[in-house]
Structure 1
Amino acid sequence: MSGENKVRNVAEKAEGKAKEAAGKVTGDRTLEAEGKAKQVKSDLKQAEEKVKDATKH
């Protein structure tokens, strides 16, 4: 996984966690769901990068 993509994915996951937490605190279920979705998206991107790396070697 390229360093740039890894940093981007970690930042996206952190943003998702922040959104989820904000949604929980404010009772905004939509914001909470958006945060969870962003975390899943980040996890999928990380998995994709790992597969790409594994097939290169």
Structure 2
Amino acid sequence: MGFDDKIKNTAQDLGGKAKEAAGKVTDNERLQAEGQADQVEANVKKAGENVKDAFT
């Protein structure tokens, strides 16, 4: 994966953390769940990058 993809994944992870925190503060379970889902998706992408990097 390219450097741009790594930046996008990190941004998605940070955005997810912000959403989750905002959901906790406002007691909005849907926003909290969206934030957690964004973080999981970013982590899956990062894991895929690590596997791909290991084979190149």
The gaps in structure 2 that reach 5 residues or longer are: none
The structural deviation recorded for 1:45 is 0.1
Aligned residues: 56
1:1-57 equivalences in 2 (<5 Å) = 1-56=1-56
Q: Counterpart of 1:38 in 2: which secondary structure?
A: helix
TM score, norm. by length of structure 1: 0.93
The gaps in structure 1 that reach 5 residues or longer are: none
% of aligned pairs identical?
52
RMSD of Structure 2 on Structure 1 (CA): 0.7
